[in-house]
Amino acid sequence: MEEQKKEDEVQPQSDATHIAQVAELHAKLLRLQADMDNMRRRHQREKEELGYMAAADCIYQLLPAMDNFDRAVKLLPAGDWTQGMVMVHKQLQDILQCLGLEPIAATGAFDPELHEAVAIDEDSTDPENSVTQELERGYKYRNRVLRPSKVRVSMGGCKIE
């Protein structure tokens, strides 16, 4: 019944129009399928990325506390209490390392992939563009830079006016 009705409604059309229409629809379909295919692949990638991001963000949020712990441990006066704190500090470092967190070395040549220059060192006699001091530790998480090291960079003895 229903199909009957539909057929009745269809206007007679020339073959050429039909062919053009089919070609157009076919092109649209192919595009849509390609879109779907790309989307599926991207989705997969995004899913993996999301997993990474979720963990990375969590660890990233922890870093300021870790920084302050680093600072505290460096400044604590010697003693039994301090020794205990140093051990807890070490433990935390080890746990984070097991999770895939890795400190970035802040020595040698300044590398903007890994380091962020927050100050220059005009008095240093180190070669120009080398890192003279680590001001805040940088980290890689699963081989990607999570946070670059904040460093001071040598000007090789020449002053910037």
Contacting positions for other proteins (CB under 8 A): 2, 28, 31, 35, 38-39, 41-42, 49, 53, 68, 71-72, 75, 110, 112-113, 115-120, 128-129, 135-136, 148, 150, 152-153, 160
Q: Which is nearer to other proteins, 98 or 138 (CB)?
A: 138
Q: Which is nearer to other proteins, 5 or 14 (CB)?
A: 5
CB 82 within 8 A of CB 76: yes
Cβ at position 3, least distance to other proteins in Å: 11
Tokens of 55: 């963990």
Q: Which is nearer to other proteins, 62 or 118 (CB)?
A: 118
Cβ at position 52, least distance to other proteins in Å: 9
Tokens of 54: 């979720």
Taking alpha carbons only, the member of 108, 133, 135 closest to residue 121 is 133
CB 154 within 8 A of CB 127: yes
Q: Which is nearer to other proteins, 15 or 107 (CB)?
A: 107
CA distances from 33 to 19, 22, 90, 115 (A): 21, 16, 53, 44
Cβ at position 155, least distance to other proteins in Å: 8
Cβ at position 39, least distance to other proteins in Å: 7
Q: Which is nearer to other proteins, 5 or 12 (CB)?
A: 5
Q: How far apart are the first and last CA of the chain?
A: 89
User: What is the distance between the alpha carbons of residues 37 and 34, in angstroms, rounded to a whole number?
Assistant: 5
Cβ at position 16, least distance to other proteins in Å: 22
